[in-house]
Amino acid sequence: MKKSRDTIKISKLTLFTTSTLVTMMVLYLYFLNMSVVHVVLRGEHVQKQHKLNTEIAQLEADYIESQHVIATEIAGLNEYFTDTPKVFVSREGASLVFGGN
């Protein structure tokens, strides 16, 4: 009679251990799946962020270009004009390097 009670206790312990193992496996697969989903979502978010940064840079460039156009128009309305082109480097005379050549 004692053996049958021991067998019942062992089977309850086995059932508990098996259910715990199955639960842990299901939780492991769930968290593994969620980590993959988060990595994919993060990649998509980074791509969207780069796209938005590109659009913002393009809008800033358009804004600066429009500012220059408006500034030249306002300067023209106030009768400010440039008569001569700007010259930054001029080599009109002979230099020491090219002395007599």
Distance, CA of 17 to CA of 25 (rounded, Å): 12
Mean pLDDT, rounded, for 24-50: 97
Query: Taking 90 as the threshold, does the pLDDT of residue 48 lie above it?
Result: yes
Of 67 and 19, the one with more pLDDT: 19
pLDDT at 86: 59
Mean pLDDT, rounded, for 71-87: 68
- pTM of whole model > 0.85? no
Tell me which amino acid residue 101 is. Answer: N
